[in-house]
Amino acid sequence: MNGAHALLETLRANHVTACFANPGTSEMHFVAGLDDVPEVRAILCLFEGVATGAADGFARVSATPAATLLHLGPGLANGWANLHNARRARSPVLNIVGDHATYHGRFDAALQSDIEAVASALEGWYRRTLRAEDLAVDVADALSAAYGPPGRVATLVLPADVSWSEVPTVPPTWPVAVRPRLSQPHDDELERALEVLRRGRSALLVGGGALDAAQLELAGRVAAATSSKLIVETFPAIIDRGAGRVEPERLIYLSEFAIAQLADLEALVLVGAKVPVGFFAYPDVASQLVGSGCAVVDLAPPGTDTRAALAHLVDALRAGPIVHDAPSLVEAPTGELNVRSMAAAVGATMPEGVLVSDESNTSVVHLWGATASSPPHRWMTLTGGAIGMGLPLAVGAAVASGGRVLALESDGSMMYTPQALWTMAREGLDVTILGLSNRSYAILNLERQRVGATSDGAVSQRMLDLDSPALDLHALAASLGVPSVRVTTADELVAALRRSYATPGPMFIEVMLPKGLS
Amino acid sequence: MNGAHALLETLRANHVTACFANPGTSEMHFVAGLDDVPEVRAILCLFEGVATGAADGFARVSATPAATLLHLGPGLANGWANLHNARRARSPVLNIVGDHATYHGRFDAALQSDIEAVASALEGWYRRTLRAEDLAVDVADALSAAYGPPGRVATLVLPADVSWSEVPTVPPTWPVAVRPRLSQPHDDELERALEVLRRGRSALLVGGGALDAAQLELAGRVAAATSSKLIVETFPAIIDRGAGRVEPERLIYLSEFAIAQLADLEALVLVGAKVPVGFFAYPDVASQLVGSGCAVVDLAPPGTDTRAALAHLVDALRAGPIVHDAPSLVEAPTGELNVRSMAAAVGATMPEGVLVSDESNTSVVHLWGATASSPPHRWMTLTGGAIGMGLPLAVGAAVASGGRVLALESDGSMMYTPQALWTMAREGLDVTILGLSNRSYAILNLERQRVGATSDGAVSQRMLDLDSPALDLHALAASLGVPSVRVTTADELVAALRRSYATPGPMFIEVMLPKGLS
């Protein structure tokens, strides 16, 4: 048995069931080994950013790591942006990065580069295996690191000769990752949290791993019992939403509005969330969004058992159950297609249990509102701000769940990783993609006002426009094998969504919105 | 005047005429400033790998740096693979990477990351500017570093507040980069080179900056006068070729054949090239391609004046002029379309002065041969092995030259950076793209045999196939705004090439080749 095969056996023993791969020459022994380990589903991606974003989506949905298979430094670099998003989502991910044979590195061949430097910026776990007999243990160590808690990106470099060398002794059992327990919240912090919550003018800010329906229910009971606000971080990795679920208000993206949102608070209790800060800095706007007079209690830093913390608060407060309002159904829109009617169409048609991969950027406010009382669903957002996440994340979510995914994708963002569409077609994934065409980097038209970088010039305006030439998104999707349609009215959109949900496999719907911010 | 404007003024003063940009919020002041500095042509790219590959192409053609404009760590990472190729091509490139405001970094906002670590793996020059008043000097320093010699990738990090802050005093003149001189070859090495060349069984291996027509002519005279072989490195950054020019034999990509190619040599004289090593390691094949009995004379390491070295050899040898054969014209093929007839069509139709961006991978042997006596042209190759270079490089070459570019692009490689097609359409660049469709990672089918990673399994074979679903390359190009056609016979290809060369703007030609290696 060679090293690559031992690696795959270790993945199987650790129940790693998916490998999102963009292999090259150095990874050919790994690829050959896939034939013998069918439990590790190999999914080909045409670009590494698809593979890494898919691994992130897989992890968010299943809370277990998928593997990526990448080709030397350039492969890792191509996947880096979505690994950055995965890091911010605290997703467990295992990168396997093929490299030159150990003895070949010193010759500085064309593809040689400092992989460790690129990996180090992911602030996760890194190791280079030097002998085939060490691979199994190294993989288990990598998976232990990936699981955390909190989850992180683990990168294992696999030199070609380590792949092709024989493992001298095949162990009787393959090593298995250790999954350390969540730590318990501190009594002092629990007491402080109770104290400030009881005093009033306080809020619970939930985030991270505290956003499943059961924990949100607990958080909602705490908020109701103490008349506190319940707020969710701006960009949750994954959150349960919809009819019958507690819906926190969302921390606003725009710093100046977020500062106003938090201005009245005397205390903020963090449960899995970080102290809120501005996404960007703006001239004359504070970076820290909470006022200096607001006490911050960090009840559950990363790796803490948020459920235990919330349950403790519920018990201490004897917080009663929540009576959920009957869902107010969104009516299917007709007529003109704009951001509002688009959002209403999504809200009115959403099936139960759908996974939403949201990279809708400037459209999100309407979409978030229109789906609040749709059937129960889960929503994933752009955690790290590195655009090009939405379609790859949808791939991974579909593979992990086997269920329907709805990708809400802005035209500008979609153009970073359109290759994901091909993998959806190839694997027959049940993904409905809304390609939101407004022919501009609408968010930058907004942001340049906010930073005060206004100019009347045609050159700078043209840098934010995507309409010359127009991107034909539905033709693009079709060229990559995804059935595709363009809609220009709300009625057509509603019909297309319903058809897509009733049809196995991916479908791309190009949604023609008014140009720019709308 | 704010920092961003000062930066742009410094670019203007240094004759940096192109900026390949994929901006975000942090770069909005730079974008606004573009309206006031029209000499810096801003070219929007939908993905950062397009911007960086274009800067590489610009540099290879013009020997001067273009700027890129990238958005924080993820932007640099997305552009990293083509910067790796630029590093291997020794292309001067100036990256401007927008970042959070200096005071915002400590808050660890979503997009915060260790940009320096990612940049460090490019082994070039790096600086973060902290005050607007330092920007002009930092840009000039960056450009000095980029020029070298040898050329390198310089990365300047531009915090948002440095962009938007006022420069206290506008200098009377903007600082200008220093361009250090090439160093002269050493007399000892010149003597050694003459000695081994005169002794026989030797070769000149030319590469780097020694590949323009005039230097190749000198090298050809040296080789003829000493009955030496004249060999060019496997992946030249840019080389003058075609009728009336000295055509060295090319060092073979496959290690085992390259070893045979060099086996008889007693001496190898390097002129701008490195000691040849295997592109990858293979079991039981040496990494170093020259035998241990072969003396190596490095006449012109990076930064050395290769022209002076060659001229010295010509003088010392009293090497006479070369009589070039009349070019043997390639006849336009008819009938079946395969790799041979495709190559013949390219050779038969090539106009004079075309710039070739070659990412044809397994098709290159035929293409290289079929164009040897085509009208004079320049040929660029995949210097760093990071695929996804061909289309971006063509963008930059077209912007730098204003002339016709021919991009030879394999289907698998094309899918890394297809976004480049949109920029070609937007800017009206005269690029003819051959999309070589063989529906497979043909090179990996070859490589897996060579590394001994064979398997009969369907899973591993499917990881190398691109035909399920088929990529509709010409529809993809059309969706991005490029006029496009699919050809299935040699006659159609010849006609399409001729039409493209006669028509301003880009044209995409999907070339339907037999599946796999052919």
Which residue type does B362 have? T
Which structure tokens are listed for B339? 């790799």
In this predicted model, what pLDDT tens digit does every residue of A278-310 receive, in sequence order?
A: 999 999 899 999 999 999 999 999 999 999 999
A35, A111, A384: residue with CB nearest B455? A35
Distance from CA of A247 to the nearest CA of B (A): 23
A35, A278, A388: residue with CB nearest B459? A35
User: Residue B501: its pLDDT value, please?
Assistant: 98
User: Residue A448: its pLDDT value, please?
Assistant: 86
Name chain B contacts of A103, Cβ cutoff 8 Å.
281, 287
| Interior angle at CA A362, CA A356 and CA A364, nearest 5 | 30
**Cα–Cα dist A316/A106, whole Å:** 63
End-to-end CA distance of chain B: 60
**Cα–Cα dist B421/A224, whole Å:** 55
Per the CB < 8 Å rule, is A426 touching B42? no
User: Residue A518: its pLDDT value, please?
Assistant: 56
Nearest to A83 by CA among A67, A98, A100: A67
A34, A120, A454: residue with CB nearest B32? A454
Asked if pLDDT for residue A182 goes beyond 70, the answer is yes
Cβ neighbours of A187 (radius 10 Å): 9
Q: Determine what percent of chain A is predicted with pLDDT higher than 90.
A: 90
Distance from CA of B36 to the nearest CA of A (A): 8
Per the CB < 8 Å rule, is B452 touching A84? no
Residue of A nearest to B475 (CA): A479
pLDDT string in tens for chain B (518-residue length): 999 999 999 999 999 999 999 999 999 999 999 999 999 999 999 999 999 999 999 999 999 999 999 999 999 999 999 999 999 999 999 999 999 999 999 999 999 999 999 999 999 999 999 999 999 999 999 999 999 999 999 999 999 999 999 999 999 999 999 988 999 999 999 999 999 999 999 999 999 999 999 999 999 999 999 999 999 999 999 999 999 999 999 999 999 999 999 999 999 999 999 999 999 999 989 999 999 999 999 999 999 999 999 999 999 999 999 999 888 888 999 999 999 999 999 999 999 999 999 999 888 899 999 999 999 999 999 999 999 999 999 999 999 999 999 999 999 999 999 999 999 999 999 999 999 999 888 888 888 888 888 777 899 999 999 989 999 999 999 999 999 999 999 999 999 999 999 999 999 999 999 988 65
User: Residue B31: its pLDDT value, please?
Assistant: 96
In this predicted model, what pLDDT tens digit does every residue of A70-92 receive, in sequence order?
A: 999 999 999 999 999 999 999 99
Name chain A contacts of B460, Cβ cutoff 8 Å.
31-35
Nearest to A120 by CA among A80, A65, A160, A85: A80
Nearest to B417 by CA among A415, A23, A469: A415
**Chain A / chain B CB contacts < 8 angstroms:** 323
Q: At which residue do the structure tokens 């002092």 appear?
A: A188
Per the CB < 8 Å rule, is A32 touching B462? no
* CA atoms A372, A374, A378, A384: torsion sign: negative
Kindly state the average pLDDT of the residues A318-334. Answer: 91
Per the CB < 8 Å rule, is A121 touching B100? no
User: Residue B429: its pLDDT value, please?
Assistant: 98
Asked if pLDDT for residue A517 goes beyond 80, the answer is no
A101, A110, A419: residue with CB nearest B281? A101
Per the CB < 8 Å rule, is B110 touching A481? no
A78, A452, A479: residue with CB nearest B81? A78
Which residue type does A141 have? D
| SS3 assignment for B208-237 | CCCCCHHHHHHHHHHHHHHCCEEEECCCCC
Per the CB < 8 Å rule, is B281 touching A110? no
User: Residue A450: its pLDDT value, please?
Assistant: 85
Kindly state the average pLDDT of the residues A240-266. Answer: 96
Name chain A contacts of B8, Cβ cutoff 8 Å.
none
B31, B77, B164: residue with CB nearest A80? B77
Per the CB < 8 Å rule, is B33 touching A455? yes
Beta-strand pair B239-241/B93-99? unpaired
**Cα–Cα dist B141/A202, whole Å:** 52
Name chain A contacts of B274, Cβ cutoff 8 Å.
108
The DSSP 8-state label assigned to residue B377 in this structure reads E
Domains of chain B: 3-164 (3.40.50.970), 187-317 (3.40.50.1220), 339-512 (3.40.50.970)
> A214 near A195, Cβ under 8 Å?
no
User: Residue A126: its pLDDT value, please?
Assistant: 98
- Which residues 6+ apart lie within 8 Å of B514 measured at CB? B338, B438
In this predicted model, what pLDDT tens digit does every residue of A346-365 receive, in sequence order?
A: 999 999 999 999 999 888 89
Helix (H, G, I), strand (E, B) or coil at A353: coil
Helix (H, G, I), strand (E, B) or coil at A238: coil
Q: Could you give the count of Cα atoms lying within 13 Å of B144 in the half-sphere of its Cβ? A: 13
User: Residue A451: its pLDDT value, please?
Assistant: 85
**Cα–Cα dist A455/B34, whole Å:** 9
User: Residue A179: its pLDDT value, please?
Assistant: 86
Per the CB < 8 Å rule, is B280 touching A160? yes
Indicate yes or no: pTM above 0.90: yes
Q: How many Å separate Cα A494 from the centre of its chain?
A: 26
Which structure tokens are listed for B220? 């050809």
Element holding A508 (H helix, E strand)? strand A507-512
Per the CB < 8 Å rule, is A110 touching B383? yes
Mean pLDDT across chain A, nearest whole number? 96
Which residue type does B499 have? R
**Cα–Cα dist B88/B86, whole Å:** 5
